[in-house]
Structure 1
């Protein structure tokens, strides 16, 4: 079971203000309508532990101990989470249409939304794969490959690593390693643009102790092409579009000309540790003022002052963008204009970025509740207790979290 994460990013921010692979294929265990399971041939599934109480607090449904669903009463009980397949209780994120899990810290498992395992690759001991749906996600995948960062642990004398894996077999193509200077043990973000893998590397400690890097590698060979040195601060996200490179730090946004690495502009932001999100030619930046910047030029299309302490990255839907706050508010804004759509509230801090799919906005509170609101009107249609500080993601109508050993199909009543 995942370790309880009882801190909030805003409290963490206050404290830091100084600031070889093994490939397999097959299916995971599938769950039929009776709750019985069929074990896959490959084995190696995630830990089989159930997080939370499995009870519904107000609306929605959850599986009972025998694998069936219990549905709450009330007019809004129109969403059900139905067990679909198992073997999923580990750190989880999505990329290139699939789920990526981190069982036992040093393995990366790629799984289709239907539960089919594409590959499971293992990296060297002494490193921890950097994947997360919430905080410094170091994984990127497309048709050319899977590129993932790994943090160096104390027992090794090298820095962070970036691995390039075959997208279908998981076979290692190359590995890049930073020096063991103690300043670049972590890989906080990875992206790919025009045949170049771009990643950010930094260390631990306070912000003013950092000397972070953004490095460009040849996507085929892993050979270094260039690097940009920063004087301090944490790097949380990077986005490359056209000839522009956007680098988000705790309190600022730096824009570079990608071809020459010339610094074009620096902007002050209030995003803190929350990451921006790019979608369809727009970069959405969280903070007490939510901003929409056009890509690749970076011009501001709109800004919306929230009047609240925004504590999450941005969830982007077809018509709206959504953020969560320290005091439990969920705020929705029109994606094209920035006009306020609605606000609602959950019990507890919201620090997990909202996840938007199929007209629903999914929210995790720090105290352990999973909630779903309609993207159009903000109506609460599902609520369930999972576990304190859990993380989750959604892909093609399937929800996975890092607490339970089950992937759930999202069904509407």
Structure 2
């Protein structure tokens, strides 16, 4: 079996900064602040009994929770896989090590497309996602494994049939084995290639490739650092690295501005006319100009990309806090806490903020108030995504309909 090259978030941060740094599904818990209440047994629907429960906080004082769950996860259809993300209104799965499947929210498979042996599609709801889909095509990065001596690839697939249109291959120099960011605009597919190791060992390339032919149009060669996000709007190209954000003129690849922002491996997120930049200081920039609309110092070690809803923007921290801010003003909405590091970017759907902790808990909060609505233990390090009221994760072969009681 092909061996996937390891891209551990923590090991990458250690290398980049130069400093060191098994669960049972089906258990639902409620917390009161940072304190954990007793565990209730789940019924078949995935929710616990609604009676109040009592336990003690860290100081040994009794605490009481309200109804055990306001959300049910009801099995809807089967067919999950080893990796999952969303794009263009659909789920995308890495169905096998060497294939990618597009699935509608109702569970209907649109297509399954294979890629070459020795490569695996780099799809994820986290900073490692290298998939973009729109009505012109599906563009996905494929990382090279140790079985091949070539570099990473980008595949262009027909959005309806999955038929391969073209493939662009990176050089097999050991420096461009992976793709972590892909976007498309005005007939050009833009992506970044790099490798593992430390930040100063990188020589990342940002390429612009013709969306119809796969021919290279231009490239931007960088001297070091990891590229974790690319956003293109108008004639501006935003390239996010671990410790900086560079703004280019897209038509000429001229560097217009460099900003020192410590984002780590969390990705920038564009929503509407705003670019949200996570970090200890969360920033909202106008698009396409890049002017700062607001910035808020969180006072905490933000550890995720931003989840963006209609009214709020949400991030997670190393110490387990989930922080919510008004998306227009940056004013604080609420903060809540889970047990464990929050590494997975919050996902907002239907007025609910979904969060995964590093230790394996899936939690849901009311987007407006921060009230804890649901918590379930899945598995350490699991990944998930939510689309149109359907939740999928990479641990269970089931898609769940989200029902709010």
Once residues 11 and 144 of structure 2 are traced to their aligned partners in structure 1, the CA distance between those partners, rounded to angstroms, is 25
CA shift for structure 1 position 11? 6.4
Return closer, same or farther for 1:10/1:180 CA change in 2, 3 Å cut-off.
closer
Q: Does 1:162 align with 2:154?
A: yes
| RMSD, aligned α-carbons | 2.1
**Kept in 1: contact 2:276–2:306 (CA 8 A):** yes
Of residues 333, 344, 350, the one that matches 1:358 is: 350
Q: Secondary structure at the match of 1:14?
A: helix
Once residues 185 and 178 of structure 2 are traced to their aligned partners in structure 1, the CA distance between those partners, rounded to angstroms, is 21
**Kept in 2: contact 1:314–1:353 (CA 8 A):** yes
CA shift for structure 1 position 71? 3.0
321-330 vs 86-95, greater mean Cα deviation: 86-95
Partner of 2:216: 224
**Kept in 2: contact 1:62–1:82 (CA 8 A):** no
| Match runs of 1:326-345 below 5 Å | 326-345=318-337
Partner of 1:14: 14
CA shift for structure 1 position 412? 1.1
Q: Does 1:393 align with 2:385?
A: yes
Partner of 2:190: 198
Q: How does the TM-score come out when normalised to structure 2?
A: 0.89
Q: Does 1:98 align with 2:93?
A: no
Once residues 274 and 229 of structure 2 are traced to their aligned partners in structure 1, the CA distance between those partners, rounded to angstroms, is 15
Q: How does the TM-score come out when normalised to structure 1?
A: 0.88
Once residues 63 and 106 of structure 1 are traced to their aligned partners in structure 2, the CA distance between those partners, rounded to angstroms, is 36
Offset from partner CA, 1:94-153 (integer Å, 9 cap, x none) = 000000000222110000000000000000001111101012210000011100000111
Partner of 1:149: 141
Partner of 1:24: none
Q: Does 1:57 align with 2:29?
A: yes
Q: Does 1:80 align with 2:72?
A: yes
Once residues 76 and 41 of structure 2 are traced to their aligned partners in structure 1, the CA distance between those partners, rounded to angstroms, is 13
Partner of 1:121: 113
Gaps of 5+ in 1: 20-49
Return closer, same or farther for 1:8/1:178 CA change in 2, 3 Å cut-off.
closer
Of residues 65, 71, 90, the one that matches 2:48 is: 71
Q: Secondary structure at the match of 2:27?
A: coil
Offset from partner CA, 1:313-365 (integer Å, 9 cap, x none) = 00000000000000000000000000111000000000000000110000100
Once residues 69 and 184 of structure 1 are traced to their aligned partners in structure 2, the CA distance between those partners, rounded to angstroms, is 43
Of residues 193, 200, 205, the one that matches 1:208 is: 200
**Kept in 1: contact 2:98–2:119 (CA 8 A):** yes
Return closer, same or farther for 1:145/1:62 CA change in 2, 3 Å cut-off.
farther
Once residues 93 and 253 of structure 2 are traced to their aligned partners in structure 1, the CA distance between those partners, rounded to angstroms, is 34
Return closer, same or farther for 1:257/1:379 CA change in 2, 3 Å cut-off.
same
Once residues 286 and 301 of structure 1 are traced to their aligned partners in structure 2, the CA distance between those partners, rounded to angstroms, is 14
Once residues 126 and 265 of structure 2 are traced to their aligned partners in structure 1, the CA distance between those partners, rounded to angstroms, is 10
Once residues 247 and 12 of structure 2 are traced to their aligned partners in structure 1, the CA distance between those partners, rounded to angstroms, is 26
What is the number of equivalent residue pairs in this alignment? 377
Once residues 257 and 311 of structure 1 are traced to their aligned partners in structure 2, the CA distance between those partners, rounded to angstroms, is 29
Once residues 162 and 328 of structure 1 are traced to their aligned partners in structure 2, the CA distance between those partners, rounded to angstroms, is 35
Once residues 387 and 217 of structure 2 are traced to their aligned partners in structure 1, the CA distance between those partners, rounded to angstroms, is 34
CA shift for structure 1 position 76? 5.2
